[in-house]
A and B are shown apart, each in its own frame.
Chain A
C-alpha cells in the first residue's frame, strides 16, 4: 500500500479535501466531531429547533420543503419532521438518472407509510450526459449535474410554491472542514459556491460547453437569485445542526419503523448496507476518487465508525486494505454513457491526481457485480461523434499540460 500520511485517530489521508493535521497528527475532522460530541449543548439546540419550526407551522400550503433522495439521511430527516415534529412537508426529489430498484421500492414504501406529497423531477438526459462528461474532464468528478441539481432545484420549487423553510439532513462538518460545528451552516449560495458546485456555476458551464447546450437547459442546475429567495424569506437549514447525527442509530429506526431496506454497494464491506445505496454510479464515483486521491469510501466509513468508537483504528486499516483498490463493474455503464474507452477514462482520471498520491493501475483488482446489476438501465449511450467533439473542445481549452 502507498505511504500516504493518515490521521492518527481515523484513517483519512492527507489527500482528503480540507484535511489539516494538528501537532498530535489528528485531523481537523476528528477534532470537529469531538467538538460536536462534547461541546455542543444539544438540549438547547433541540429547543431552538422546536421553536424555529413553530414560526412556519400552518402558515402556508406546506410547513416546509424536504429535499429527498431516498438514502438514509433524507429518509431519517423526513421521518423526524413528519413523525416527531408532525409537520406537513413537500418532498422534492431531483433524479440524477441512476436510482437503483431497491431505492424506488423504499421510496414508495416510505411515501405510503408517512403520507406525504411528493414532487419528482428528472432533468433532460441528453443535457445531463454532456454535463457528466464535461465535469469529469474539468474536475475529475462526473457528478456536477447531480451536486448542483440536488441543491438548486429544490430552491426553485420552494420559490414557486412559496415554502420558506427548507430542511436538509446532515451538516457537511461531519465529513469535511469547509464548515465547522461552531458555526451555523446554512444551506445557501455561499455553501453552493464553496464546494457543492466544484467551482463552476451554470453560467460558467455554459461557456465551457461552447454552444453544446442552451442557457435554458442549465436552469435546473442554477442557484436561484438571492432576491427571489429573500422574497419568500427563505431559511435553509440542516437538521443535523440541531440534533446530533448518529447514522447507525438513525438507520435502525428507519428500518424498524418504516421498513426501509439497505442494499449492498460496490466495493464496500457488507455491514455498511445503508451507505450510498441510491445511485448505481456510486462504484465509479468511488473508483475515480481512489485514482485521484488514493483512498475511497471504505476509509470514509471506517473513519466515521472510529470517531464513534465502533471500530479501532487497526480494524479500520484492515477494512481499507481489503476493500479499496478495486475496479467496479458499473464502470462499463459509465463508459457507455459518456462514450469513452477505458484507456481514455483512466487517462482523464489520472490527470486529476492529488499530490502526493500516484495511482498504480497494476495493483487494481476486479470488484464484484451487485445483485441488481442487470436491472440498471443502459439506455442513452452517448454517440462517439459527440464525445469526440467534447474531447476536442476540451483539449483545445486545456492548452498545454
Chain B
C-alpha cells in the first residue's frame, strides 16, 4: 500500500494515475496519521522550497515523516520539490531548513553556472548509477523529463548518495539521490513515459538494505 503525501503542493494526480495504471494499491495521505497505513511513501512536490517546508510543518507532516522514514524505515520516494525538501536547507528566496535527511543544500542552478537557461525544462540524458536497485532494467544513460531552477548540491561532488546526475555546460547537476530507505529524483518519472514507469516499478519492488 503506497501513501502519497498531500500537503497542498504537488502533482498528486499524476503520481496516483501512474500507480493506478501499474495496478498498485495506493491512497492519498491528507493527514500525518495516514502515513501509518502506508508501507511505502511517495512525496511529490511542485513550487517553491520555503512554501513546501512551511506546508509540511503546518500540516504536521514533518514529525510523521521522520517517524515513518527514519525510525520505521519505510521506503520513501521524493519527486522534484519532494526531493529538494529532503536537504539540509534551501536557498530559494531565503535560507530555510529542510528535512535534513541529506548533507546537501538546495541552490539555484545559476549559482554554479550562469549560462544555463532556467528553469531547465524538458528531457535530459541522465547518467544513472548502474548498481542502484532503482535503476535496474534501464540503460546507463536514460532520458527523463524535468522542470527545475534549483538543485540539490552536495558538499562533496562525488557523494555516494548521488544516484544519478546530468551534465549541462560542463556542470554536474544532481538528478537522483539514495540513502538507505530514502530515494528521490529531481526528474518526473510519472512524466517520462516507459523509462519513468520502470523506475516506479522498481520503487514498488524495492527492498532497501537497512
Contacts and interface: CB of A to CB of B under 8 A. Distances in A.
Tell me if chains A and B make direct contact, with any CB pair below 8 A: yes
Interface of A: 182-184, 190, 230
Interface string B56-82: 000000000000000000000000000
Nearest to A184: B137
A112 B194 CA distance: 43
B194 A190 contact: yes
Contacts of A183: 137
A182 B195 CA distance: 13
A230 B23 contact: yes
B25 to A, nearest CB: 14
Contacts of A184: 137
B139 A182 contact: yes
Interface of B: 23, 137, 139, 194
A182 B23 CA distance: 25
A79 B194 CA distance: 33
A177 B105 CA distance: 42
A266 to B, nearest CB: 38
5 contacts: A182-B139, A183-B137, A184-B137, A190-B194, A230-B23
A48 to B, nearest CB: 13
A209 B194 CA distance: 32
Contacts of B137: 183-184
The 5 closest A-B pairs by CB, nearest first: A230-B23, A182-B139, A190-B194, A184-B137, A183-B137
A183 B195 CA distance: 11
Residue among A183, A184, A230 with the highest chain B CB neighbour number at 10 A: A183
A135 to B, nearest CB: 27
Contacts of A230: 23
A230 B194 CA distance: 18
Nearest to B23: A230
A230 B137 CA distance: 22
A317 B194 CA distance: 38
Nearest to B193: A190
B188 to A, nearest CB: 19
B197 to A, nearest CB: 10
Nearest to A182: B139
Nearest to B195: A183
Contacts of B194: 190
B17 to A, nearest CB: 13
Contacts of B139: 182
Nearest to A226: B21
Nearest to A227: B23
Nearest to A190: B194
B137 to A, nearest CB: 7
A364 B201 CA distance: 53
A190 B194 CA distance: 9
